[in-house]
Amino acid sequence: LHFYDASISSCTGKSHFPERILSVRSCSTVIAVGLENEIQCFCIYMENYENLESYIRVVKLPSPTSFSLLMDLTGEERPHLAYPDSTTTGLVAVHDICAWTHSKKLINAHNHPIAALRFNDDATLLATASNIATVIRVYAVRKQECLFVFRRGLARTVTVNSMAFSADSRFLCLTSNTETIHVFKLEGTLPKFLHLEDELLQKSLEQSMPPQPVGWYDYLAGPTRAATEYLAPARDFASATLPEIGNVNIACLKKINGKLHILAAISSRKFFAFLVNEEEGGPCTLVNSGKLISKVCFHLI
């Protein structure tokens, strides 16, 4: 694993691992390195990124072979790590890296193996897609509850390349190996970020409350998640069509001059910007395009 300092345009160090590195994710306090059979997480306490030997390895997590490629890490205050927990079903494991127990929460997201997953910025929401990729689900991370179900389409099976939330978590975009970029709108009340102290206070208040008589709502509370998943999935709110596609197409959502845009890049080193109508949705307008030119050469070997 090589460390590159963009401010001085130079490699500052490297660390060696016993297995092939499939992916690397980081936030300001944690680096997660995905290997062939495990994920290693390190706490960052220094500003000098020379190697990982001086960092504290927080946790080492076993993962299905090669599935650490799909892991995601986010959350500055409370970093969370998510990765597929099965090669045959749609189980997703979620770890609160800040918690000393590093307990694993499991979300039974899909019937088929996970093909893509993505947190929002504060790790309160998790979007998932299976290798069938006809349905995308969005879960509340803290309660493992399915909040939204979206349908990408039924015409063909695709390979999901990327998913990304907008900064306000009101929109989710998805790219695949096709020319279409889907934008889904998350309408309704979204879960709020809770600090560890807030969660402990909430739990103590719940434990101190006297038991309430069982009502009709209690009988419905159990199957809430299942009922949510069987609701008719919503179609995409907006979509953009790439003028051309590459082997990999990725995109994110970004506000530019107060307006929501899709910023897309394809593996043939081209980028495209589309304007999203946040009120009406529909087809997105291509407003810019260009060639990605690498100005920095990485001589890592």
The answer, yes or no, to whether residue 77 has pLDDT greater than 60, is yes
Whole-number percent of the chain with pLDDT over 90: 43
Domains and CATH numbers, the chain: 2-186+223-291 (2.130.10.10)
Q: Tens of pLDDT along 60-72?
A: 888 888 888 899 9
Q: Tens of pLDDT along 157-213?
A: 788 999 999 999 999 999 999 999 999 999 876 666 554 444 444 555 555 555 444
The candidate with the shortest Cα–Cα distance to 237, out of 140, 160, 166, 294, is 166
Quote the pTM value: 0.81
The candidate with the shortest Cα–Cα distance to 70, out of 184, 198, 159, is 159
| Cβ 113 vs Cβ 129: under 8 Å | no
* Confidence bin at 301 (pLDDT 50/70/90): very low
Q: Picking from 194-198, 256-260, 286-290, which range would have the lowest pLDDT averaged per residue? A: 194-198
The candidate with the shortest Cα–Cα distance to 156, out of 180, 137, 174, is 180
| Cβ 86 vs Cβ 69: under 8 Å | no
The answer, yes or no, to whether residue 45 has pLDDT greater than 70, is no
259 or 211, greater pLDDT: 259
